[in-house]
Amino acid sequence: MPISGQSIIGSSQAHSQGAVFQAFDTVQGKQIEPDFHSAEPQDIERACALAQTAFDLYRATGQEARAVFLETIAQQILDIGDELILRAMAESGLPRARLEGEHGRTVGQLRLFAAVLREGSWNDARIDPALPERLPLPRVDLRLRNIAIGPVAVFGASNFPLAFSVAGGDTAAALAAGCPVVVKAHPAHPGTSELVGRAVQKAVAACNLPEGVFSLLTGVGNALGTALVQNPCIQAVGFTGSRQGGLALMQVAAARPQPIPVYAEMSSINPVYLLPAALAARVEAIAKGFADSVTLGAGQFCTNPGLVLGLAGADFDRFAQLAGAELMQRSAAAMLTTGIHAAYKQGVATLAAQDDVRQLARGVAADGYRAVPALFVTSGAAFLANPLLSAEIFGPVSLLVACASDAELLQVSEQLEGQLTVTLQMDGEDNALARRLLPVLERKAGRILANGFPTGVEVSHAMVHGGPFPATSDSRSTSVGSAAIYRFLRPVSYQNLGQDLLPAALQDANPLAIWQRRDGQLEK
Amino acid sequence: MPISGQSIIGSSQAHSQGAVFQAFDTVQGKQIEPDFHSAEPQDIERACALAQTAFDLYRATGQEARAVFLETIAQQILDIGDELILRAMAESGLPRARLEGEHGRTVGQLRLFAAVLREGSWNDARIDPALPERLPLPRVDLRLRNIAIGPVAVFGASNFPLAFSVAGGDTAAALAAGCPVVVKAHPAHPGTSELVGRAVQKAVAACNLPEGVFSLLTGVGNALGTALVQNPCIQAVGFTGSRQGGLALMQVAAARPQPIPVYAEMSSINPVYLLPAALAARVEAIAKGFADSVTLGAGQFCTNPGLVLGLAGADFDRFAQLAGAELMQRSAAAMLTTGIHAAYKQGVATLAAQDDVRQLARGVAADGYRAVPALFVTSGAAFLANPLLSAEIFGPVSLLVACASDAELLQVSEQLEGQLTVTLQMDGEDNALARRLLPVLERKAGRILANGFPTGVEVSHAMVHGGPFPATSDSRSTSVGSAAIYRFLRPVSYQNLGQDLLPAALQDANPLAIWQRRDGQLEK
């Protein structure tokens, strides 16, 4: 079935006459067929109303049924075959190997959430049995479990057309939690979105779930997303994108008659600390690893290392020289969209024009929409004085900051905004300085790495892809890994409800065989 | 030491020349000595700066040290002796027995959080060991734990001068999490607040903690609270009070350059459902229990049953008659403040003036600031048509709604705003109707009771004192019970950090002997 260019509303296809747009191939520099038609207000209304109708039925399915559903989505995505990779390559400019990896990750995280559902701790089942003899007052029987928060609006991210888009991490977590999902497709990869959306639609039908469990709205412009977040059926929002976009959605959500949580992953420059012993011992390896990380995927990762902090001196100068030379050897890769390419060029030009910022390396000017890697250096004092130097530039560029002393390094650290990650390049002799930095860094970031580089986000149980504002809108959460399910749950307590009316997770017989916390102690 | 009338800033006392006010005894109808001086901007600044300075030191203390600190606070509160009860009686108008019970609850919840700390699950320790041989890519070592979110602003509640005030549930949960606390005392009980504040101050000193772990700001007017929430050191807010007050703080927090979470417990009318079999079997007992619940503490509970839903008919009429008669026998008790008393009279008058609302019972007019219990009845159709009938009236009043059918009862349920509680009066034969209602009620409330009445909130592990907006600002949380600690935590992930730098909760040797989730499976 060819790509229709229409939104998916439950089990049917929209027939929108809304604004027409096409995807754009930044490698070939040309539009891609077919036309897409932006969802109209009635499409949004219908998708949200269907989600609301489906909600109670869907969340009542239980954890095994939802696990099977997630696995069915994974299989349906696999069944699309190479058409999906080819379409995603054309729409994103990303190479085959990267998209095949992302494809595996997308399928893998759906299966991870199936396993999380079956393990059952997501219920947070708690039982405080009645104490009828307690004095001065008897205790009632109290039992707590988590339930789904309600229909969730998910915004596909431009830079992960599979793993953080239609059936990506936000959708997988929300569906696992028992929330119907209405996705707003990113207009940069509408065909990829439709292919994956259809796979989810097929899985809904195959699992005999109510059609409103999933809809996919396609479109350009901000009005669609705003209307989606304003819709009273929507109870939470998942978003990965720009700071400006995330802030706008936060404001829309806070201004609703009933405010709702927004999980926006927005902006991070992911500082890398070059501690002295590590730098002295292995400056070449660090410079090479850094250059690989900053240019990976044309620098279009939320965890791209956009800032490097160290102590001024010969080793730091050597790093600057080596990293610059490495960067000059990296080829310029096509960016995701023409808009991202334009913003990157503008961002680099602005950085280059700042006082006390010196260019270390800048690749040869490239044609089309390719991103030329660049590296700059400044002093700790200049960094402290100029807030513009902390702004995220999405692409393969980084700023080195040479601090005059440990004290200045700590001062710069205190001034940092919230981050997704911070990285310490450190050897054993750096432990003392690392110990001074760690309390600060814990306040600043969601993930702290020793050695390695921040690009590459494992999808597992102990991952935090989150962090203090403006890295995200809600530092209490992660958007990657199994803990992401908690974003879409809320606790409900049942007092003296009979065993026959209690949910399975809270029955004394424990038919789900899950962990239950009884009088505060975990048991199974 | 006599009550000073000044704020407590860390280890010292403010010397504010701010606006002067006194507490008011609503039973005696007179002002209470001494004068209190509102905190000035420099007091707020200093309290917040001290909290920020204390933060890293305090959160590094570890769970055993913080458990001892909470227990020390409990002991210091006990050591105040009867002076505390007497002062709280005068400032709140509440009787001795109630305040002695609340006193025990306050001490008990501090000790509960000490136990929660020692049990250690609050860390959410997760370990995904490295898989160096994994293909296509090796897996890094990843470990996750929760850390404190930062200094917390706590707003004392008027209706729980001990258990939800200076050292109440919000403060206990935040201190347990590792967050310094700056309390804004409720101006209705400033002397009680100072006495308890001094007890906490003594505990800070006795435990050799940094002074900024706790400050207490006293004052009248909204400017103090606004400035506190705007202060950049504050990272979360706990509030129990009016819808208007909670909404105002939510807006202040969302408008900050760095938005922060607000946990506001605001408004709930706590519907009680009278299902037919239960009503037929034991209408007298239900009417008596209801009258007790609605008049308890002069109706000044967040969980006061302000709405009663049932099916029109002889049994419902009988309930209305019996409940009205019971209510007429309840004496009018003094309210907490003159303002609450005035708002109660106004609320009852507004309700009485609505079309299709009939008065069933109204106690004899009382002198002073005593609340006259009242009971009204309306139809399901009238309730659906008039949003004013859902407004919370803080005090001993309730509205009965006679629905024409099961369908109308469900329709009314769907239209309800978010609630802290809903209660089903039900017997076995009501199960079928209860099953239809439960999915709706789970979406509407944080706690669902079978039989019993919603007043009386157990402080335990399975309690949820929370619920969808406007019951609270954040349905993902509870403000009572051990799960309340999670409001003030955020996850941090550590990648490839050495054992010597890892926090104790994440070390392989597990020195805290807590539950750790290894590769997704809990073990100890």
Q: Are residues B252 and B298 located together in one domain of the fold?
A: no
A400 and A479 share one domain: no
Q: Give the gap in angstroms from C-alpha B249 to the nearest C-alpha of chain A.
A: 12
Do A341 and A391 belong to one domain? yes
Listed by number, the residues of chain B in 263-322 with a beta carbon closer than 8 Å to a beta carbon of chain A are: none
pLDDT at residue A367 tops 90: no
C-beta separation of A51 from A212 below 8 A:
yes
E strands, B295-341, are 307-311, 333-334
Residue A219 dihedral angles phi and psi, to the nearest 5°? 165, 165
Judged by average pLDDT, the poorest of A157-171, B173-187, B351-365, B388-402 is B351-365
Q: What is the pLDDT of residue A214?
A: 99
Distance, CA of B268 to CA of A411 (rounded, Å): 46
The pLDDT of residue A22: 98
Which residues in chain A are closer than 8 Å to B60, comparing Cβ atoms?
439
Whether B136 sits inside 8 A of A496 (CB atoms) is no
Q: 3-state SS of B431-460?
A: HHHHHHHHHHHHHHEEEEEECCCCCCCCCC
CB-CB neighbours of A101 under 10 Å:
16
Mind listing the pLDDT tens digit for each residue in B76-117? 999 999 999 999 999 999 999 999 999 999 999 999 999 999
- Contact list, B446 vs chain A (CB under 8 Å): 490-493
Residue B69 has pLDDT above 90, yes or no: yes
Residue B144 has its nearest CB partner, among A261, A464, A498, at A464
Task: Render A306-345 in DSSP notation, one character per residue.
Answer: -EEEEE-SHHHHHHHHHHHHHHHHSPPEE-S-HHHHHHHH
Peptide bond into A34 cis (omega under 30): yes
Q: Please compute Rg for chain B using Cα positions.
A: 25
Tell me the average pLDDT of chain B: 97
Q: Which of residues 466-505 of B touch A (CB under 8 A)?
A: 466, 468-470, 473-478, 482-483, 489-498, 500-501
Among residues A265, A392, A408, A417, the one annotated as catalytic is A265
Contact A385, A344 (CB under 8 A): no
The answer to whether the CB atoms of A496 and B452 lie below 8 A apart is: yes
Cβ–Cβ < 8 Å for B421, B454: yes
Please list every residue in chain A whose beta carbon sits closer than 8 Å to the beta carbon of residue B439.
Answer: 56, 60
Of A295, A298, A285, A240, residue with least CA distance to A264: A240
Question: Residue A206: pLDDT band by 50, 70, 90 thresholds?
Answer: very high
Between CA B147 and CA B66 the distance in angstroms is 13
CA-based nearest residue to B230, from B202, B253, B248: B253
Active site positions of B, annotated? 265, 302
The half-sphere exposure of B192 on its side-chain side, counting CA atoms within 13 A, is: 36
Cβ of residue A522 closer than 8 Å to a chain B Cβ = yes
Q: Is A94 within 8 Å of chain B by CB?
A: no
Same structural domain, B260 and B360? no
Distance CA A327, CA A377 (A): 14
Measured in whole angstroms, the distance separating CA A505 from the mean position of its chain's CA atoms is 30
Query: Containing domain of residue A75, as a range?
Result: 8-27+34-266+475-487
Q: How far apart are CA A257 and CA A261, in angstroms?
A: 13
> Which of residues A434, A450, A466 is at a domain's end?
A450
In terms of Cα–Cα distance, which of B282, B264, B213 is closest to B61?
A: B213
Structural domain contains residue A493: no
Distance of alpha carbon A113 from alpha carbon A108, whole angstroms = 9
In a domain, A522, yes or no: no
Tell if the CB–CB gap between B128 and A462 is shorter than 8 Å. Answer: yes
ipTM above 0.95, yes or no: yes
- The minimal CB distance from A448 to the residues B139, B442, B492 is found for B492
Touching B: A residues 179-208, CB under 8 Å: none
Q: Is residue A455 part of a domain?
A: no
Our answer to whether residue A83 is catalytic in this structure is no
Write the pLDDT tens digit of every residue in A35-76. 999 999 999 999 999 999 999 999 999 999 999 999 999 999
Q: Which residue of A has its CA nearest to B486?
A: A476
- Measured between CA atoms, the residue of chain A closest to residue B480 is A493
Measured between beta carbons, the chain A residues lying within 8 angstroms of B56 are 439-440, 443
- Asked if the model's pLDDT at residue B331 lies above 90, the reply is no
For B428, name the nearest residue in chain A, comparing CA atoms only. A498
In angstroms, the CA A94 to CA A397 distance is: 18
**At A352, which CATH number?**
3.40.309.10
Determine the pLDDT at residue B295: 96
pLDDT tops 80 at residue B365? no
Q: CATH no. for residue B54?
A: 3.40.605.10
For the segment A317-333, the average pLDDT, to the nearest whole number, is 95
Give the residue-averaged pLDDT of A376-388.
98
Does A352 score more than 90 pLDDT? yes
Assess contact for A450 and B501: CB atoms under 8 A.
yes
Measured distance CA(A351)–CA(A374) in Å, rounded: 10
Encode pLDDT of A9-35 as tens digits.
999 999 999 999 999 999 999 999 999
Residues B299 and B403 in one domain: yes
Q: Which residues of A touch B497 (CB under 8 A)?
A: 448-450
**Mean predicted confidence (pLDDT) in A77-88:** 98
Cα distance from B155 to chain A (closest Cα, Å)? 21
SS3 (DSSP) at A216: strand
The CA distance from A365 to the nearest CA of chain B, in Å, is: 33
Does residue A206 share a domain with residue A339? no
Alpha-carbon gap, residue A379 to B436, rounded angstroms: 66
- Say what the pLDDT of residue B305 is: 98
Chain B CB within 8 Å of residue A138 CB: no
Chain B touched by A435 (CB under 8 Å) = yes
Residues of chain B contacting A254 with CB distance shorter than 8 Å: 250-251, 254
CB contact under 8 A, B476 and A458: no
A27 φ, ψ (degrees, to nearest 5): -75, -50
Show which of residues 363-422 on chain B sit within 8 Å of chain A, judged by CB atoms: 418
- Using the structure block, give the residue that is written with the tokens 């019951």: B471
Q: What band does B260 get if pLDDT is binned at 50, 70 and 90?
A: very high
- pLDDT (average), residues A268-283: 98
Digit-coded pLDDT (tens) for A420-473: 999 999 999 999 999 999 999 999 999 999 999 999 999 999 999 999 999 999
Q: Are B360 and B320 in contact (CB under 8 A)?
A: yes
User: Could you tell me if residue B456 is inside a domain?
Assistant: no
Measure in Å the smallest separation between the Cα of A490 and chain B Cα atoms. Answer: 4
Amino acid, single-letter form, for residue A328: M
Q: Which among A456, A462, A522 has CB closest to B143?
A: A462
Q: What is the pLDDT of residue B349?
A: 96
Q: Do A474 and B438 touch (CB under 8 A)?
A: no
Question: Please, are residues A466 and A478 in contact by the beta-carbon 8 Å criterion?
Answer: yes
d(CA B424, nearest CA chain A) in Å: 9
Instruction: For residues B207 and B307, state if they share a domain.
Output: no
pLDDT bin (cut points 50, 70, 90) of residue A176 is: very high
DSSP three-state, residue A493: strand
- Chain A residues close to B251, C-beta within 8 Å: 254
Instruction: Write out the two tokens for A269.
Output: 């420059």
Which residues on B lie below 8 Å from A179 (Cβ)? none
User: How much is the pLDDT for A247?
Assistant: 97
Q: Count of CB atoms within 10 A of residue A519's CB?
A: 13
Task: Note whether A161 and A179 are same-domain residues.
Answer: yes
Q: How far apart are CA B422 and CA B407, in angstroms?
A: 18
Q: Is A101 on the interface with B (CB under 8 A)?
A: yes
Dihedral angle, C-alpha B226, B231, B234, B236, nearest 10 °: 30
B200-221 pLDDT tens trace: 999 999 999 999 999 999 999 9
Q: What is the pLDDT of residue A136?
A: 87
pLDDT in tens, A98-127: 999 999 999 999 999 999 999 999 999 999
**Is residue A470 domain-resident?**
no
Over residues A120-135, the mean pLDDT reads 97
Active-site option among A48, A179, A233, A302? A302
Peptide bond into A470 cis (omega under 30): yes
pLDDT in tens, B499-523: 999 999 999 999 999 999 999 999 9
Q: What is the pLDDT of residue A387?
A: 96
AA identity, residue A402: A
Rounded to an integer, the average pLDDT of B254-270 is: 97
H-helix or E-strand containing B491? strand B489-495
Compute the nearest-CA separation of B517 from chain A (Å). 8
Torsions phi, psi for B14 (to 5 deg): -70, 165
> What is the pLDDT confidence band of residue A517, given thresholds at 50, 70 and 90?
very high
Contact state of A139 with B458 under an 8 Å Cβ cutoff: yes
Q: What residues of chain A lie within 8 A of the CB of B460, using their CB?
A: 128, 139, 142
- A114, part of any domain: yes
Q: What is the DSSP string of A150-164?
A: --EEEEPPSS-TTTT
List the structure tokens of A522.
């975990």
Nearest to B283 by CA among B326, B318, B324: B318
pLDDT tens digits, one per residue of B28-60: 999 999 999 999 999 999 999 999 999 999 999
Query: How is residue B15 annotated by DSSP?
Result: -
Q: CB of B429 within 8 Å of any CB in chain A? A: no
Distance (Å) of CA B76 to CA B106, B154, B312: 12, 20, 54
The verdict on residue A462 lying in a domain is no
- Closest by Cβ to A452, choosing from B126, B140, B517: B140
- pLDDT tens digit string along B20-30? 999 999 999 99
Q: Mark which residues 206-245 of B lie under 8 Å from A by CB.
A: none
Give the count of alpha carbons within 13 A of A3, CB side only. Answer: 24
- With beta carbons under 8 A apart, name residues in chain A contacting B236: none
Asked if A310 and A385 sit in the same domain, the reply is yes
Dihedrals φ, ψ of B121, to 5°?
Answer: -60, -20
Q: Looking at the structure, do residues B167 and B258 belong to the same domain, yes or no? A: yes
Residue A331, pLDDT above cutoff 90: no
How much is the CA Rg of chain A, to the nearest whole Å? 25
Residue B455 lies in a domain: no
What's phi and psi for A382, nearest 5 deg? -65, -40
Number of domains in chain B: 3
**Do A259 and A293 reside in the same domain of the chain?**
no
Chain A: closest CA distance from residue B235 (Å): 10
Interchain CB distance below 8 Å, B458 and A149: no
Whether chain A has a CB inside 8 Å of the CB on B522: the answer is yes
- Largest separation between any pair of C-alpha atoms in chain A: 81
Strands (E), A243-394: 262-265, 271-274, 307-311, 333-334, 358-362, 370-371, 374-379
Return the pLDDT at A365. Answer: 74
pLDDT at residue B268, rounded to an integer: 96
Query: Quick one: closest CA in B to A251, which residue?
Result: B254
Query: What pLDDT, on a 0 to 100 scale, did the predictor assign at position B275?
Result: 98
A280 shares its domain with A260: no
